[in-house]
Amino acid sequence: MKGLYEDRPIRGEGLARRFSNSKRVAIVSIMAVLSVLLPLTLFLSSVVGTPVTSPKHQSCNTVDEGYQCFSGVSHLWGQYSPYFSVDDESSLSDDIPDHCQVTFAQVLSRHGARYPTESKSKKYAKLIKAIQHNATSFTGKYAFLKSYNYTLGADDLTAFGESQMVNSGIKFYQRYEKLAKDIVPFIRASGSDRVIASGEKFIEGFQKAKLGESKTKQDQPAPIVNVIIPETDGFNNTLDHGTCTVFESSEAEDEAEEKFINVFTPSIIERLEKNLPGIKISGKELVYLMDMCSYDTIALTRDGSRISPFCALFTHEEWVQYDYLQSVGKYYGYGAGNSLGPAQGIGFANELIARLTQSPVKDHTSTNTTLDSNPATFPLNAKLYADFSHDNAMTSIYFALGLYNQTKLLSQTSVQSTEETNGYSAAWTVPFAARAYFEMMQCKGEKEPLVRVLVNDRVIPLQGCDADKHGRCKRDDFIEGLSFVTSDGNWAECFA
């Protein structure tokens, strides 16, 4: 198991090849020593509660791999994890086969890393102030709390989040270059400021990659956010839930989270109250302190190269439990654990079917008929699409499409591993700047196009159809298997 604050390994092989054998031996020896000392230095620094800096000579946050900084903890922040390329040993290759040509690509993306929501930001600030007022001593790794100044904003993207979305645009262009070099993608965004800004930063990265390939492409128009769907009451929006009245009044997410909070927090609270004499905190407040690890980290630098001292207050096992808590919340709030969770994703799924088949949208759930019936706001002949949304909506969409149908009901009393949940977790599915790629490809020897879905670079074998060894299904078989979607599922229960 990787160390709690371990970065990606240092690679010295390319450098060593440039030197003589004797110098190569010396370099390899030095690198071997560094490979031991660097993780130890990072760990010791984290224990005393000071921010840790990643090595300057290499980036641990890249276009291809996403956020690999301090992966022993940063990949355990649930939906507050920054996007990272999911390296699952059981997953299929995400390469595009040589004998296949991509003819259609749709990205569905979460916005980039943001500051806490306004309501949460107030709660975090209040909690830290209370700790500073009530604690009678601050020692060891808790010492930073005495003088910590809460300065986080609310709701908007951080500089790190903006950088994530630029990288996302670059990666999308690079993956689908054969289409993208001559095509301008059609882009929609749900109507919150951070989602719109994420679409704009994605465009910035897309254009950066495109114009870097050839100056002749400068004559092509730059992409724009073509449609912004309002997030107002009563306005149908497939990129943000809000019109299913029974669902909106449900407290299933909070109830599921509370059950698991009661399971994993008591022992941690006991330790913190002992080490910070004078304080009293609840289970929810303990989770707020854990939230601060991610939020503080993504606000410290534009590249995420420093980790917050909040992170060192908790053990690796406690971060595993925290990560599972976030998965429980999403699963019971917007996934299969909530009878109406998947229904919130039906509208987008039917829009996807329309785009794959270049036929009008057939849906009576959350689609906006005015927008979807107008070729200017919902074209059917584009080959590249990009939609920007939120983690909750994306979770519902994944379950509407049956991507995680093999996931068993998540326990609310004990942690299940990603193997036990068949690869489902909030960190793997809806981290900050999460992206799902829906690809259609034409392959030699196949009369019908094939469809494939990747979630954060992990191929998700399609369910409800005869998937091949690459996780793909024939387009018509894929659509036929979406009977829950094409029949409007249980949407009628929204207004019972």
Catalytic site positions = 111, 391
Q: How many helices (H) and strands (E) does the chain have?
A: 18, 12
Say if CB 208 and CB 218 are below 8 A apart: no
- State the residue for tokens 């949407």: 491
Helical H segments across 135-180, by residue range? 159-175, 177-180
Beta bridge mates, 388: 109, 189
Angstrom distance (rounded) from CA 434 to CA 109:
6
Q: What is the spatial distance between Cα 26 and Cα 246, in angstroms, rounded to a whole number?
A: 68
Pseudo-torsion of CA 38, 43, 47, 49, nearest 10°?
60
β partners of residue 436? 108, 455
Longest Cα–Cα distance in the chain = 78
Residues 66-87, buried b or exposed e (16+ Cβ, 10 A)?
Answer: bbbbbbbbbbbbbbbbbbbbbe
CA atoms of 63 and 78, how far apart (whole Å): 21
Q: Nearest 5 degrees, angle CA 371-CA 374-CA 375?
A: 125
Residue 302: CA count within 13 A, CB half-sphere: 6
- How far apart are alpha carbons 270 and 286 in whole angstroms? 11
